[in-house]
A and B are shown apart, each in its own frame.
Chain A
């Protein structure tokens, strides 16, 4: 019986080798895949064992981790949750991370390579490793004013420092309480999420960057820039501005807002056309310039379909496909398939304000190690130069006229010259109301875009006052 016995012994060896090989495959080859599977809650639970870094605005923590007594050692808290929710996002056991909690996860969790040596030191000193802090560019006064201005409506506000691209404010309403998505009770989290999902518009969407809307007349700034850049126009050039414009190849006439004539003579300067937001003048101007010039200028302002990482992911904006001159005419007044995010709208104002140079927008000012030493500081970067300084001056002059004499009067700030442009965009529902602008016009400190979805009024009525409050709050804070 010994020969078969030896064979049995060898077979057992083979079977056990199979087991060992299989375990190797699982624990080595497939280890990363299994570890990072979304359904594997082990890593997330492990994350709760170390102190996650804070998100800081103006010296105050707007997201931090506090120790608890329950099984998950640290609880994520958002002291003024709903005000900063569009930027912070949430840190949820059930739904994972969103917005900054996701974009800056490596730093906050401490996995970032720049924090490596410190983690190593923690290992030896036996301290619990903790994550780094992320200091945002947001200005508390701007953010609070913007959120207050949007109260009760669906909308978004983006405010930029035109000279650097730093995001001073990023508001989106309706908002939500990230604390309730970041608790340690899965049942309560699910209940709150169900409540949010039952709303018509999910508040977890950050409308400043996650969604695109028809811009309406604020797009006329881009068409004006294209005209000035062509060398054939100045702000004083007189352009046709009829009461009605029959678009090439169609029989439907394009009208001005309220059906009025822009000028009794049927002609006016480019400056006047923008001031009264003359639809017929800009539709004709766009057609005269041609699709290429309009599209190139739009792309120079960043409207090229590509998104941005600021480091939140912003949707790309687009002017869509333009098939003929009729569509070009309608696109030139910001309708048709032109779709902008509020961030992109603010970038247009910002480029004009910064002498024609567009700075890359960014939200993270500094990354700090747990001991508060700065390990990374964002340097402002130029994104593009859509127009010359001279053209920017003329645009500023035109936009100042809008606020002084035109549709943007309600954005006026006593003692400060404000430049801006209103927009009232037609869409399936009530009109969207826009305002983009900057102040002071001669030394711009802040550029802003205000968007109110289906506000039903005009950009001048609904959005300009919000922009005024936001700009004023910032200028007051700057001692100006």
Chain B
């Protein structure tokens, strides 16, 4: 891959210069992510079991194959896509797999009878996620197609969201949250998919109605307030999240959906008043929920002082804080800590495991990788040329940011616990697969956004520049 676009005589021709596609950058970064993943796995094996296994080689081949396929598909079908999105995801998924593997080993050592190996299962989920990633890129050649199915997707999203509420508890409840569909040994969290469907719908709907929502307003005390009847959509979204909270006892999804909607509304209309209205509604809803629901009060109490509720609802956070504090600046080293002392460390509290074993530096690095992912998504939104793509990219990026903030804030005691999963990092098939789809859509939009505008002629000139392509179309 020594030849770049500039060595191609056609690229040098005046007026036809194409912006760099940065596919080789992406490849190098992916290689780096795979390297970190494998080194992490090897350290875990060496520290905990004292030896390397052949499984590590299998795992290495599998992971390498996974990201190679992802890269080739992007290179072929989304050549202008942002080169940082995929490597960031690869690094997070890889680190997550290493930590799940590490916690598997800890459980085996503790001799726990129910020591199921979760890392291989997660790898299967990652593979399935990648299949969907590829599928989205292949099928969805233009993201604007999505806006045509906006109302269908809204319906799908709502149904997905509603299923666990309707199902009997035996098929839908885990640890008090009624957010699952449990069929034949599989647990699916439909909320993760509903999040994407509804974001697409929000984007399409808001692009449609933004003028009305933005322009028709009254000035009250220096603030542009919308007309009463235009409050409809935001109230519906609010009601929806309240319903989720009441019927599924799922504080996380409720907060997530409402946050995404309000921010998208703000971006679409450029009216800060929507943010204030959203905040007001949220505050009111939160206050009422606190008064009415015992589990919300409990969450808040154990957030304010987890150590006071050490023997009950504060135990998880207290243990996470112990882990983080013990980890300190540099951490106990992979395999050197006791992250298994935190309940459900593999899923909800995986960030605590990262902080304990990789220390402050490791945990901040992970937060920054998320930041890179989110800011590249928002950058895509900024340069996107169509309103729908712009709003969708903004919504999806903010969804990741908001989810990371709410989850990590919960684990580190900054916010009350909500029960959302850490995107890409945590154990959990639905979350992983759904977020792969989310990133696929982002990649598709960024490909369109960074693709040079072709005012005349067919948009073909760039294809010949790709040095790895043998077959010309």
Q: Which residues of A contact B (CB under 8 A)?
A: 1-6, 8-9, 12-13, 15-16, 18-20, 22-24, 26-28, 30-35, 37, 39-43, 45-46, 71
* CB closest residue in chain A, given B315: A39
Q: Is B234 an interface residue (CB 8 A)?
A: no
Between A and B, how many residue pairs show CB distances below 8 Å? 131
Smallest CB separation, A186 vs chain B (Å): 13
**A to B CB contacts below 8 Å, 15 in the list:** A3-B270, A12-B371, A19-B414, A20-B367, A23-B360, A26-B321, A26-B324, A26-B412, A27-B360, A27-B363, A28-B328, A28-B329, A35-B328, A39-B307, A42-B341
Q: How far does the alpha carbon of A6 sit from the alpha carbon of B378 in the complex, in Å?
A: 8
Contact of B413 among A2, A15, A20, A26 (CB under 8 A): A26
Q: Is B370 an interface residue (CB 8 A)?
A: yes
Stretch in B118-126, B138-146, B194-202, B401-409 with 4+ CB within 8 Å of A: B401-409
Q: Is B33 an interface residue (CB 8 A)?
A: no
Q: How far does the alpha carbon of A6 sit from the alpha carbon of B267 in the complex, in Å?
A: 9
Contact with A along B350-386 (1 / 0, CB 8 A): 0000010001100110011011001100110110000
Contact of B409 among A9, A22, A71 (CB under 8 A): A22
Q: How far does the alpha carbon of A43 sit from the alpha carbon of B387 in the complex, in Å?
A: 55
Q: How far does the alpha carbon of A305 sit from the alpha carbon of B296 in the complex, in Å?
A: 53
Stretch in B16-24, B162-170, B390-398, B434-442 with 4+ CB within 8 Å of A: B390-398
Contact of B408 among A4, A19, A30 (CB under 8 A): A19
Q: Provide the residues of chain B in CB contact with A43, threshold 8 Å.
A: 326
Q: Is B226 an interface residue (CB 8 A)?
A: no
* Docked-complex contact A12 and B390, CB < 8 angstroms: no
Contact of B270 among A1, A22, A27, A40 (CB under 8 A): A1
Known pairs A2-B382, A32-B325; list 10 more (Cβ under 8 Å).
A5-B382, A8-B266, A12-B375, A15-B401, A16-B370, A19-B412, A26-B413, A27-B355, A37-B325, A40-B322
Contact of B322 among A4, A13, A22, A42 (CB under 8 A): A42
Q: Number of contact residues on B: which range applies? A: 35 or more
Smallest CB separation, A31 vs chain B (Å): 5
* Docked-complex contact A19 and B109, CB < 8 angstroms: no
Q: Which residues of B contact A (CB under 8 A)?
A: 109-111, 263, 266-268, 270, 307, 310, 318, 321-329, 337-338, 341, 355, 359-360, 363-364, 367-368, 370-371, 374-375, 378-379, 381-382, 387, 390-391, 394, 398, 401, 404-405, 408-409, 412-414
* Docked-complex contact A12 and B324, CB < 8 angstroms: no
Q: Provide the residues of chain B in CB contact with A16, threshold 8 Å.
A: 367-368, 370-371, 374, 401, 404-405
* CB closest residue in chain B, given A70: B111
Q: How far does the alpha carbon of A203 sit from the alpha carbon of B378 in the complex, in Å?
A: 68
Contact of B324 among A13, A34, A41, A71 (CB under 8 A): A34
* Docked-complex contact A42 and B370, CB < 8 angstroms: no
Q: How far does the alpha carbon of A46 sit from the alpha carbon of B333 in the complex, in Å?
A: 13
* Docked-complex contact B398 and A6, CB < 8 angstroms: no
Known contacts A1-B267, A15-B405, A40-B326: A9-B364 contact under CB 8 Å: no
Smallest CB separation, A96 vs chain B (Å): 16
* CB closest residue in chain A, given B408: A19
* Docked-complex contact B412 and A23, CB < 8 angstroms: yes
Known contacts A22-B409, A37-B322: A27-B263 contact under CB 8 Å: no
Q: How far does the alpha carbon of A230 sit from the alpha carbon of B85 in the complex, in Å?
A: 92
* Docked-complex contact B398 and A30, CB < 8 angstroms: no
Q: How far does the alpha carbon of A6 sit from the alpha carbon of B390 in the complex, in Å?
A: 12
* Docked-complex contact A8 and B394, CB < 8 angstroms: yes
